[in-house]
Amino acid sequence: MTAVGGDKAVVFWRNVYTSDSAYDSNTDNLTSFDTKDTIYFSLYDGSDWSNAQMAYNGSLGGVVGLKTAMLSDGTSILVFTLDRGSSDPENPMEGYELAYRTVSSNGTLGDLVVLTNDKETDSNPQVTAVNDNGTESFVLGWYSTQDGGDIRLQAVGADGQLYNGSSEHAIPASVKAISQDDALNINSNFQFAKQSGQGVDGLTLVWAETAANKDGEADHSVLYGTQLCKIDGSVYLSSPQALVTLPSRTLSNSFSAWKDSSGKINAYLFGTQYSETATETVAGVTVPADTDQLLTGGGSLTAQAVSVDAISILQRC
| Calpha distance 207→244 (Å, rounded) | 10
CB 137 within 8 A of CB 78: no
Band (pLDDT 50/70/90 cuts) for residue 29 is: low
pTM reported for the whole predicted model: 0.86
For the cut 80, the answer to whether the pLDDT of residue 249 exceeds it is: yes
For the cut 80, the answer to whether the pLDDT of residue 302 exceeds it is: no
CB 240 within 8 A of CB 307: no
Would you state the pLDDT for residue 66?
95
Task: Give the residue ranges of DSSP H helices in 145-207.
Answer: 175-179
pLDDT in tens, 99-143: 999 999 999 999 999 999 998 999 999 999 999 888 999 999 999
Return the number of other C-beta atoms located less than 10 Å from residue 228's C-beta: 24
Q: Dihedral of the CA atoms 245, 248, 254, 255 (nearest 10)?
A: -30
CB 169 within 8 A of CB 198: no
Return the number of other C-beta atoms located less than 10 Å from residue 16's C-beta: 17
Would you state the pLDDT for residue 99?
97
Helices and strands (H and E) in the chain: how many: 2, 20
Handedness of CA 240, 220, 254, 79 (dihedral sign): positive
| Calpha distance 206→190 (Å, rounded) | 6
Of 217, 226, 281, which is closest to residue 257 (Cα–Cα)? 226
Would you state the pLDDT for residue 32?
58
